Chains A and B, each alone.
Chain A
Amino acid sequence: MMSPTQWDLPPELCCRPMAFVALTGLDVTYNAIHRAIWDAFCANRRADRVPISFKVLPGDHEYPKCRTKRTSYEWYIPKGILKTGWMNKHLNLVPALVVLFYELDWDDPVWKEKQSECATKVEIVRTSLQGRNTKVAVVLIQKKTPLPPGEDLVASERAASLCNACDLSGKSLFVLPHTDHLVGYIIRLENAFYEHAQTYYYTEIRRVKSHKEFLNKTTHQLLFVRHQFKIAFFSELKQDTQNALKYYRTAYSLVHELRTHETNMLEIKTMAGFTNYKICRLCFQHNTPLDAIAQFRKHIDLCKKKIGSAELAFEHTAWMSKQFQSFGDLFDEAIKLGLTAIQTQNPGFYYQQAAYYAQERKQQAAHMCAHEPVGSYPTPDPLETLSGALDFYGQRAWRQGHQSIDPPDAEKEKVGIQALQVKEKDVPHSELIIALLSNAVAQFKKYKCPRMKSHLMVQMGEEYYHAKDYTKALKLLDYVMCDYRTERWWSLLTSILGTALRCSYLMAHVKDYITYSMELIGRASTLWEDQKSRIEKNLIKVLMNEVPEAEPDCDPASAKAAQALWSDRVSLAGSNRFTIEVQDYVPFVQCKARFLSPSFHLDDPVQLHLYLKADCPHPVRFSKLCVSLSNQEYNQFCVVEESCKSQDILEPLSQENMCLVPGKTRKYSFKFVAKTEDVGKKIEITAVDLMLGTDNGRCVLLNWRGGGGDAASSHEAIQAARSFRSRGRVPEQHAQWDTVSIQASTMIISRVPKISVQLSHKPPALSNEMYCICVSIQSNEKTVAKDVKLTAGLKPGQDANLTQSTQVTLNGLEVCDESHPALLPDIAIGDLQPGEKVEKSLYVCCVTTGPRIFLFHVAYTMTTQAEGTDITCKCHKDETVTIETVVPFDVAMKFVSTKFEHLERVYVDVPFLLMTDILSASPWPLHLVSSQLLLAPTMVALDEPQSQVEHVVLQTGECASECFSLQCPPVLNGTSSVASGQYLISWKRKSSCADAPVVTTVVTLSHVMVETIPLYVHAELPSFGRVRESLPVRYHIQNRTGLVQDVEMSVEPSDAFMFSGLKQVRLRILPGAEHEMLYNFYPLMAGYQNLPLLNISLLRFPTVSGQLLRRFLPSRIFVKPQGRQAEDASIAAA
């Protein structure tokens, strides 16, 4: 920490004033009780305790003497505004209240003696406070707990007597029993003290106010200010901050009403500064920060121009700096206590301004103190005073109290100013500036001002440079440089680089020197051509291991020291090789590398172009250029190198190739053959290195990561792409550079195969069949294709379910099962001579429908020539084909009654029909080999079911149907769903060869509901009738229950028939028995005729309707017309 300077605000001004109470009669060193009392007073003074500052003083302490009160101000001329000791006096020396602690119990045996001793002590205190309004109070420390007031008569009597003896009012006598609850008693005591103190400060305020009437405006102007300030200060001590603020404000305006001249300017500014500080502080305390800011602005506006003595102008800037700094501190403190600041109004601005004034002060100091022949400090010291300090704030030591316009003694004045100037020379200005800047940086960082922060850091760096701390300067400048570079503020970057270059020069840091030089002569620099030229010449000198010339604007002494450092550096052997990563800078040589194509076939040479362009004013020579690739074996092909001697470096035209002419784009082409093992890999440019200087001198390697480019190039590329110039006619080389884009990597891909793979097949595939794909491979190579291998099958990477439902085999004679793989890898084909052709058949079995992608991958090796060398190439060709799998046919089935009526459910022991339809969905003809019905045990065939579709060929859309007569045996419950069985169809493609395997498709037949019926009716009748011929019909009625059934039957009359038989009957059928009813129908009309309806109803089963039973019976019959006799024979024949 720096020691306090003249400009720092005094601590008594900056503290929070608190009432001062002196405690006497306490022996805190040797008496434990007293110690405990004292601790209770001073420990834990939190915000909830009253604001008092306590001090323990001996009983006979001498308080500052009170001067005799002036009765008249008539002849009084004040010597200054405020005495330097005044604030401290009232904070720490003159108490508002003196408390005398005395150990005395009410029932003390020697009460009288003690009382008089106490009275004496009080008297001593009173004497030393002669003339002051300070109150005195007595606290009796007692061992016993007091009785409630009024009960202890002895106590009240003795208290009265003690008050009398000590000349105290009853309010000033206290009792402190040192029992438990000490802290509680203490808090009550100090509240009482506080009230006394308040009264004291109130009377002080009244006292100061009372002076006012004696003052006149001509001679006592200073006193107006002094009194207002004092009243305000007492108000603060009284904790009346509202009034304090009011009085400070009055004092502030009075200060500015004072007549100003050169001799009292400093005093006025000092007092204005103090008052302003107090006002701002109170405003922040009252949470009115805007008032504080407004007051401060007003203050600055009023004081800015009050410079005072021109020879001491640095004092004004120092004072201004301090004003801003202390306001910044106040602001910051308020923020810590909960105030919110914003981006555009935060303490940082005040610190920044303080730093600005500090910089100004430094310049003025340098200007005023350097050139004058001040030289030595004058003796006797004009700044020395008798007391060692000033009497009044802001006065000159050599003319204290002097208030007239002209200095009393011109010679003394001169010497005094000289002394101040000499002193100013020793002030560590840079240190002050840097401290303020770093305060500001911290604030701006907090309030999201990155650019402001960078700017301040630049200033800090520059200040460090002026303070000759180059290491720290470089560290800061380096840190912010990249921000300006990425934001492309070249003018600012150039300025920072210039400072950095000087730093590195003065420290003889070779690498930094080269780095900064390179950027300063590059395209981002805004320097003039002649400056660039100078820097480049220096750079060349450094490269030749010579001492560069000093940077201009360097301090001559430092430059001289630097020359020596450089000479040492030059003579030093070793560490003369530097690698500079230029990617993140904007160096003076630009570099772009590109592969001519994003991919190269193995048998084509890889081509790489490297473009270089220098932006510096003079041509540069380099000694080596090399490109590093991800596979280092290729690096040897990408080098440009010439052995050159160090003295050639300035003769640019002798070796054209190794020289970069400013503004001209130079292209270098490299070519190499990739290695076989790099097929499928990426080759990347990992770095480009450009070597400047020579191995035996100093050598600098500019290193670009990847394919070149630098901090500015990507933006330039975007601009170039957008520009109309890239499309139009433009100067040749310029366009060339802009249009070159970096291509830092390329793929090595295998040689283009000269082989044809053809597939022949007949899509779509039918599910489950052995689908044949014929692959024919023909070599078009000029040499033997060796080791040909075919990988065929389902292309990997499709749905996982497809792998399970696809099988591939080379054997087409049998159906695949699940053990077959989905992909057959590396089927050896052998060698193929040029032009030779091989065919392979592949059989695929697809279980599920849907599209599948099949891959046919033919790989082989062969030898060819590239760039004159034999290389072995692995070639491969992929063919893929998407094959859709469809079902060959749809099978539909239905249950019908013997009358071919659709059945929802079938009845036990009643025959019914199963009909199956096979509908071809295949685009190719299908050959149905056979079919078979495998019945479940719950179904029985009525006859031996035989396939009716054997060897049928189905064209697309054709349908083959079969019909089977079945019956269901009884089921356990009345109704249940039973399985029907399976239907097997064996088939193959019509087009497939004879020995192709037959595919069997299994169709599971649907379940069917079986129901038991109580009664079964069936009729027996001829297949047709003839008009007017008898038609006998026999109805069989079976009781299928275990109960006797009552059946009611009736036959409804019909127009088409006459009939004989029972028209209506009620009968009883025994369990399992069958009843037979015979009717003779006599048809009356020809054609299809409805038979007379037979109504049957079961009395036990009302649910079984006649309608249901009628379904078992024929409903109509064909009646032939009555034939003529002659035609009878012909009809019989038909």
Chain B
Amino acid sequence: MAVCIAVIAKENYPLYIRSVPTQNELKFHYTVHTSLDVVEEKISAVGKAMADQRELYLGLLYPTEDYKVYGYVTNSKVKFVIVVDSSNTSLRDNEIRSMFRKLHNSFTDVMCNPFYNPGDTIQSKAFDGMVSAMMVQAS
């Protein structure tokens, strides 16, 4: 289960960022922000011609001592970042993928809301609930 989930706009500012409340929130913000370096590099590594066939899931961005950071980029260049605890070894690649898929679906729902202005921060309750379900439950 994730300890931090973030949605980053095309222009690289955060649309939504949520972390487990037990730990330093700022640290996760920095982790997500620095992971954008790798995301940018991975997107630019895929040539423009191949952009259409690009896989959205970017895989493990980089491991830190304590966390693993995974990335996902939609076709409209909105980025999803999921941070999981390094000690959580039970989490497989497939599960991370399905988390991203869920996130993407829910994000699509947010975008479909006619009252949502693309580029604004996400304040949807449905999205929030979905993210909460994917987060490590604070106990």
Contacts and interface: CB of A to CB of B under 8 A. Distances in A.
B61 to A, nearest CB: 7
A432 interface: no
Task: Report which residue of B12, B17, B30, B38 has the largest number of chain A beta carbons within 10 angstroms of its beta carbon.
Answer: B30
Contact of B114 (A452, A488, A724): A724
B129 to A, nearest CB: 22
A451 B34 contact: yes
Given A488-B13, A489-B14, A495-B26, A448 B115 contact: no
Contact of B37 (A450, A492, A722, A723): A450
Given A343-B41, A495-B26, A723 B117 contact: yes
A503 to B, nearest CB: 18
B41 A722 contact: no
B38 A455 contact: no
B34 A492 contact: no
B37 A451 contact: yes
A452 B34 contact: yes
Contacts of A344: 38, 61-62
A206 to B, nearest CB: 43
Contacts of B65: 300, 353, 356
B33 interface: yes
B30 A718 contact: no
B52 interface: no
B12 A492 contact: no
Nearest to A353: B65
A488 B36 CA distance: 13
Interface residues of B, number: 25
Interface in A317-358: 343-344, 349, 353, 356
Contact of B33 (A353, A489, A718, A725): A489
A489 B14 CA distance: 7
Interface string B20-38: 0000011001100110111
Contacts of A451: 33-34, 36-37
A353 B63 CA distance: 11
A163 B117 CA distance: 98
Interface in B110-135: 114-115, 117-120
Interface in B5-20: 11-14, 17
A491 interface: yes
A865 interface: no
B119 to A, nearest CB: 5
Given A451-B33, A455-B30, A489 B13 contact: yes
Nearest to B41: A343
A455 B33 contact: yes
Nearest to A345: B62
Nearest to A721: B117
Contacts of B115: 724
Contacts of A715: 11
A537 B28 CA distance: 31
A719 B30 contact: no
A338 B83 CA distance: 34
A297 B17 CA distance: 30
A821 B4 CA distance: 80
Interface string A478-506: 00000000011101100100000000000
A565 interface: no
B110 to A, nearest CB: 15
A487 B120 contact: no
A1013 interface: no
Interface in A701-718: 715, 718
Nearest to A300: B65
A719 B36 CA distance: 23
Given A353-B65, A489-B13, A449 B119 contact: no
Contacts of A448: 37, 41
Interface string A432-470: 000000000000000011111001001000000000000
10 contacts: A448-B41, A449-B38, A451-B33, A451-B36, A489-B13, A491-B17, A492-B29, A723-B117, A724-B117, A725-B117
Given A300-B65, A356-B65, A724-B115, 14 more contacts: A344-B38, A448-B37, A451-B34, A455-B33, A487-B33, A488-B11, A488-B13, A491-B14, A491-B17, A495-B26, A715-B11, A719-B120, A722-B118, A723-B120
Top 6 nearest A-B pairs (CB, nearest first) are A488-B13, A449-B37, A723-B117, A452-B34, A344-B62, A451-B34
Interface of B: 11-14, 17, 25-26, 29-30, 33-34, 36-38, 41, 61-62, 64-65, 114-115, 117-120
